[in-house]
Amino acid sequence: MASASSSFLLLLLVVVASASAWCSRAAPAGAQVTRVPGFGGAQLPSKHYAGYVTVDEAHGRRLFYYLVESERDPAKDPLVLWLNGGPGCSSFDGFVYEHGPFNFESGGSAGSLPKLHLNPYSWSKVSSVVYLDSPAGVGLSYSKNVSDYETGDLKTAADSHTFLLKWFQLYPEFLNNPFYIAGESYAGVYVPTLSHEVVKGIHEGVKPTINFKGYMVGNGVCDTAFDGNALVPFAHGMGLISDDIYKEANTACQGNYWNGSSDKCEQALSRVDTAVQGLNIYDILEPCYHSKSIKQVIPQKSRAPQSFKDLGVTGKPLPVRTRMIGRAWPLRAPVKEGRVPSWQELAVAAPSGVPCMSDEVATAWLNNDGVRSAIHAEPVSSIGPWLICTDKLDFRHDAGSMIIYHKNLTSQGYRALIFSGDHDMCVPYTGTEAWTTSLGYGVVDSWRPWFTNEQVSGYTQGYEKGLTFATIKGAGHTVPEYKPQEALAFYSRWLAGSKL
């Protein structure tokens, strides 16, 4: 009996010590965000921290982060790093428009401070989330040496790994939390390459040791051939092109649509392009408004639209973005080895003229002097205005196909969730489904619907080695923006190790 009492007391002391360690916090002085301009609530549902981590002292290369602690149990809940794509787009896109702690309401006039309301589907309900602007030059991240803006996949991954190692030194209380890396679109490259760097660091004994468990990618680019060949079968399956147009293209191109090798193939593909050119590439269900003018962006390069992510009518309660996108990214144009053009270049070069896009809410908030001060970001006068997608970078895709990265990571036991909004025509689910199948893993959870509130929310298939593929029914390119409730559902289940 005495032995049992001693064991209980020892266990109690361990629990108390752990709780005390968490409460004693090691967060850097001055990093806590104590007020959020635009939010009128009595208090935040969890603690927020923000600031810079210098990844290159000599160059003054600094990456900006915003941490939202879990509203449930930050001491035990997973920690997730979120990356938006581009390349060159700020992760505040995810914070403002997708799964951040707030829903943003326009202030009522151009440039006025938006009103912030709590988001019932924030991913901070079940996890702590770090939103990272990467690489330097994106969002609120910057370098004092402009040569750093010539970058690419591998340098971005190395810098982000350096960021993580230094960040965990600043926040050692999170070292024991399960850690995941997540992102969408061009983060289909960012996420696997950074995951690779993290795992390599773990194997090499780099300290601190990151408790990395897995990663997730939404509507992410992966492989030149798989991505480039996805559109035609997608368009046919969605009823956007006829059987005759599909058969003509399939016969003439022999299934190789992204790199047509004959005049007949190009002619057949031009019929496909003509049939779908009036659609919103990021969500074929949503309107596409065309305009003859492109709004001028000041003070950076003139007549360049501010982003590429104005997507479609959202499931969120506050419709804060006007969807005016069209076809900024060329159809059947996968990311290839070499220089990746900026979204602004692609938009300006579009043959019909792609209209400007409305990111006024995020832009007004992040360029407000009070907001910059509250979140510990450098002022506009120092680093310039925040743009959702920058045109500062000279970016190169130099990591090759992501398939080898996915094979390497999953074969080592790291879990992976690959999800697709099934109405995205930019990175169609058909290509993603094809490359996940190509890995050759056995099926352990056969194709089936998954549900939210007893309604079909999409379809999923589970594979060996912890790989899961899922679609989200009716969602576009940025899934949580279109289907926030369903996104929180699959996110929560996957993090918990449950089936979708």
Q: Is 424 a catalytic residue?
A: yes
In this prediction, residue 197 has a pLDDT band, given cuts at 50, 70 and 90, of: very high
pLDDT at 310: 34
pLDDT of residue 319: 46
pLDDT of amino acid 339: 76
Does the structure show a pLDDT above 60 at 53?
A: yes
Q: Which of 18-32, 75-89, 337-351 has the lowest mean pLDDT?
A: 337-351
pLDDT value at residue 401: 96
pLDDT given for residue 248 in this prediction: 96
pLDDT at 137 over 60: yes
Chain centroid offset of residue 36 CA:
23
Mean pLDDT value of segment 107-136: 94
According to the model, what pLDDT value does residue 410 have? Answer: 98
Pairing between β-strand 415-421 and β-strand 212-218 as defined by DSSP bridges? parallel
Of 48, 376, 406, 477, catalytic: 477
pLDDT digits (tens, 9 = 90+) for 240-271: 999 999 999 999 999 899 887 799 999 999 99
Question: Which CATH superfamily includes the segment(s) 32-225+397-496?
Answer: Alpha/Beta hydrolase fold, catalytic domain (3.40.50.1820)
**pLDDT at residue 259, as a whole number:** 81
Q: Which of 127, 185, 420, 457 is catalytic?
A: 185
- Residue 451: pLDDT band with limits 50, 70, 90: very high
Instruction: pLDDT band for 307, please (50, 70, 90 cuts).
Output: very low
pLDDT band at 312 (very low <50, low <70, confident <90, very high): very low
261 in active site: no
**304: exposed, middle or buried (Cβ count in 10 Å: 0-12, 13-18, 19+):** buried
* Rounded average pLDDT over 377-385: 97
pLDDT-based confidence at residue 414 (cuts at 50, 70, 90) = very high
User: In this model, does residue 300 exceed pLDDT 50?
Assistant: no
Residue 82: phi, psi to the nearest 5? -110, 135
Per-residue confidence (pLDDT) for residue 314, from 0 to 100: 43
Reduce the secondary structure of the chain to three states and give it as a string. Answer: CHHHHHHHHHHHHHHHHHHHHHHCCCCCCCCECCCCCCECCCCCCCCEEEEEEEEECCCCEEEEEEEECCCCCCCCCCEEEEECCCCCECCHHHHHHHCCCEEEECCCCCCCCCEEEECCCCHHHCCEEEEECCCCCCCCCECCCHHHHEEEHHHHHHHHHHHHHHHHHHCHHHCCCCEEEEEECCHHHHHHHHHHHHHHHHHCCCCCCCCEEEEEEECCCCCHHHHHCCHHHHHHHCCCCCHHHHHHHHHHHCCCCCCCCCHHHHHHHHHHHHHHCCCCCCCCCCCCCCCCCCCCCCCCCCCCCCCCCCCCCCCCCCCCCCCCCCCCCCCCCCCCCEEECCHHHHHHHCCCCCCCCCCHHHHHHHCCHHHHHHCCCCCHHHHCCCCCECCCCEEEECCCCCHHHHHHHHHCCCEEEEEEECCCCCCCHHHHHHHHHHCCCCEEEEEEEEEECCEEEEEEEEEHHHEEEEEECCCCCCHHHHCHHHHHHHHHHHHCCCCC
pTM above 0.85, yes or no: yes
- Cβ atoms of 121 and 113 within 8 Å: the answer is no
pLDDT tens digits, one per residue of 172-183: 999 999 999 999
| CA atoms of 234 and 188, how far apart (whole Å) | 19
Say if residue 190's pLDDT is above 50: yes
CA distance 263 to 389: 36
**Distances in whole angstroms, Cα of residue 178 to Cα of each of 24, 181, 197, 209, 211:** 20, 10, 17, 12, 6
